[in-house]
Structure 1
Amino acid sequence: MLTPNFELKQTDKHVILEIKAPLANIAQTELVADDFNVFFSSPPYYLRLKLPGQVRESPTESGTYDVDGGIFTFRLEKVVEGQNFEDLDLIGKFLFAHKKYQARPKIEVLDDVVPSSESEDEDEEQFWIAQQTLPAESLLTTPGYGFANKVTGNGAALREEFYEIIELTDVETTPVGERKLRREREELEKFCEDHYLADFMEPSEINAIIEFKAPWEELLENKLECKLTPEETEYLKDLGNRDYLLDAQETKSALLSLADIVFAYAYNFRTFTGENTVESAWTINKLSATLSWFQTHETAAQMKVASIRRSLIYPLYRHYGLSMKVLEDTVKILKLGRRQY
């Protein structure tokens, strides 16, 4: 079954669902609105949504179909009139999630104090109940990578296909905690003093890049909203939706990895004044420790240091002032929320 392109809009009373399905079988079309869930079927199309509020089929209205455009339009009545359904343009949020990724449970000893009544052979017992520190990763556990380190078993294939980007050679065997140390050793070997000094002594071109007015700066100054293009909306639909059950540290690491990638994106955007080049994909992946080393950041400071280090070692322009400007860009992009350049 195919997932059709669709769009969600709203009024005070209704949620308007528009579905583009030019190959639909009209005779077998069915729509069901049940509480938070909406089901649409019209072979070869199938769509299942979970909305942020309750809806029901309107007894006074029915769906329409535009034959020329191949578009179904359904008006679903809000159970709570006037309720605002947030982020309806971020359609990927509402697609049914097919799989949950469960975080490993954390086990903690709450109390290891020996009662005073058991004082016999106290010295010997204290020896056997001494606190122990378990390793962060078991030797029998394959190190993970990807989003929240949930992926395993595909490291060799990734390394073979993206050998120019992924610098971590032993993806499946290098513990997560060791990746940072190996990355930093390699960065020290790759740092070129001559290139850095040349950019520092002749900064005219770099100064122009630093002074470039990025669109997110104007949006932040004027408190404007950025709207998604039809192409971006379709990409969200194709990307789909997954539910992840993450603990607090995994959530923090995932967000820091996002900031790491945003920094690399902002560097590419600024240095080429908003235009992509044949080097853009390489630049973004190379500057991101998350993408090139599958590194998991534990703190914001660690993420910032890694991003700035790599921006002074690998790309065309290597200037500390530029790196700090890109860091400002990263903060501004994150402040503006989910819909940005």
Structure 2
Amino acid sequence: MITPRFSCSQTTNTVVVSIYCPSIRASDVEIHVDHTLFSIHVNPYFLRLNFSHPIIEDDESNAKYEPSSGYLTVTLTKADPGQDFQDLDLLAKLLAPRPTNVQAPCIEVVSSTTEEDELVEKAQNLSIDRQEILEAAQNDWQLPQSLPEDIPGVSIHAVQRYGFLNMYTGYFKHISHTENEVDELGPDAEIIAPAERRKKRIAHENSKWDEEHYMADFADDEMIQELIAWKHPYIEDNKAIHYTDEENMVMLRLPRKEYLATPHQTHVCYLTLLSLLFSYAYDSRTTQCDPTPESAWTIAALVPAFTALDPPPYDDTHIPFPLVFSPAELNAALVPSYRRCLAFPLYRSFALAEACRADVAGYLSKGKRLVLRCLLDIKNALDHHEVYYLYSKLWVDDFCVWIQTYGSDDVLTALAEGLKALPMSKNLIGWHLDELEAAVQGVEDRESDSDDESSGDSSDSSSS
């Protein structure tokens, strides 16, 4: 079945669903309404939407098809007239399955073969083998013989999970055969424990840190100051967010999942979101919202959850209230992003990193609709790369669905306020940034004094 393009709107008493389904027969349309669930089927299209409030079919409800435009417009009556149906523009949320009351993680069915089917299959195989033996004995045939195969080696390493809510495994089995320049775990990515991933990430960051590069950018920062002065149009624009047709099509292709995250997992999702938005902010500033072929590398390289499969939290602070973020925890969550933007890309400036943090606060303060648009931009950059599209599958696709269905504007606003007031110290980075900047400033001061003395000597000589 094909999921058609659609859009939803509302009036005081009705919800209107506009569906693009060209070349159909209106007499074949099947519509079903069940409390908050609306479904429509007309070959080859099928659409099921789950609204936030109940709807009903009554005399006021109707469906009209326009063959010239290919649009089927279905008008449904609100069970409670005047009730506001929220998030009608968040298509992935409407397409998500109806929430269940189960409080434990769902089980993923990896095979439809039941235990009984397996037993029957084994019995049949046994019967065939036995029949062959009996026939061979009766006819005095020579039974086929072969050397026993070597027993495969048994791995003593447990396969590790990773990605959004640790739902994935097996994606890096053949990483050595790809040109993944941001991967920091190598062929052992599938078996390296989380604690070891973190050690490898930190060691890699330290190896890539270049004092001379940082000092040179600090001394000659004209270009960096231009990047810092630039304003992101998403933050500057105060108009209501309306997604483009292209963005809506991307949302229609997102996976349809129900995420039964624990409070701690939800907490981790918000912290991981900060690193994704930080990488997006850096790329947006350095390209001024005109992505380049290097944008996918930049975004991927700055996210620890991508390069080392190492998402937050990065400290051992006990969290009594899962969705309350302390300054210490926010600092710990952002330090890896700061370190990476000072060690890997072209422009390496602490002031530029601070501007990116301000951008992240700006995205969050505008709510989940703008955050979703940023995530869609990240997905677009990664999906067009022949290697880094992998990180869309492991992280970004699920984040796009999760932020629509489970994201809270109140939590995002609280995070934004926390980032704005956050005192980020250079000492947390661990690379003696203050000392390096002081050394550069000292050299500049000495050169300035030398220039003043030279100009003074010249004036004395001319006067004599």
**TM superposition score normalised by structure 2:** 0.62
**2:342 touches 2:349 (CA, 8 Å); kept in 1?**
yes
Aligned-pair CA distance for 1:96: 3.7
Aligned-pair CA distance for 1:30: 0.9
Cα–Cα, structure 1 residues 162 and 302, in superposed 2: closer, same or farther, change >3 Å? farther
**1:159 touches 1:171 (CA, 8 Å); kept in 2?**
no
Aligned-pair CA distance for 1:178: 2.2
**1:8 touches 1:16 (CA, 8 Å); kept in 2?**
yes
Once residues 182 and 28 of structure 1 are traced to their aligned partners in structure 2, the CA distance between those partners, rounded to angstroms, is 59
Give the number of equivalent residue pairs. 305
TM alignment of 1:1-341, pairs within 5 A: 1-97=1-97, 103=105, 141-157=158-174, 160-161=177-178, 163-169=180-186, 170-219=188-237, 222=238, 224-298=239-313, 299-340=329-370, 341=374
Aligned-pair CA distance for 1:18: 0.5
Moved over 6 A (4+): 98-101
Once residues 97 and 339 of structure 1 are traced to their aligned partners in structure 2, the CA distance between those partners, rounded to angstroms, is 20
Once residues 66 and 175 of structure 2 are traced to their aligned partners in structure 1, the CA distance between those partners, rounded to angstroms, is 44
**1:179 touches 1:295 (CA, 8 Å); kept in 2?**
yes
**2:184 touches 2:307 (CA, 8 Å); kept in 1?**
yes
Gaps of 5+ in 1: 105-138
Gaps of 5+ in 2: 107-155, 314-328, 375-464
Once residues 60 and 283 of structure 2 are traced to their aligned partners in structure 1, the CA distance between those partners, rounded to angstroms, is 53
Comparing 20-29 with 324-333, which one deviates more in the overlay? 20-29
Richer in helix (by share): 2
Identical amino acids, percent of aligned pairs: 32
The CA RMSD measured in Å over matched residues stands at: 2.3
AA partner of residue 331 (structure 1): A
Cα–Cα, structure 1 residues 278 and 314, in superposed 2: closer, same or farther, change >3 Å? same
| Bigger radius of gyration among the two | 2
Cα–Cα, structure 1 residues 295 and 25, in superposed 2: closer, same or farther, change >3 Å? farther
Richer in strand (by share): 1
Deviations 1:63-97 (A, max 9, x none): 11111221110000000011111111001101143
Cα–Cα, structure 1 residues 166 and 97, in superposed 2: closer, same or farther, change >3 Å? farther
Q: SS in structure 2 opposite 1:173? A: coil
AA partner of residue 277 (structure 2): V
Cα–Cα, structure 1 residues 206 and 40, in superposed 2: closer, same or farther, change >3 Å? same
Once residues 17 and 286 of structure 2 are traced to their aligned partners in structure 1, the CA distance between those partners, rounded to angstroms, is 40
**1:103 touches 1:245 (CA, 8 Å); kept in 2?**
yes
Cα–Cα, structure 1 residues 44 and 162, in superposed 2: closer, same or farther, change >3 Å? farther
AA partner of residue 45 (structure 2): Y
Aligned-pair CA distance for 1:197: 1.4
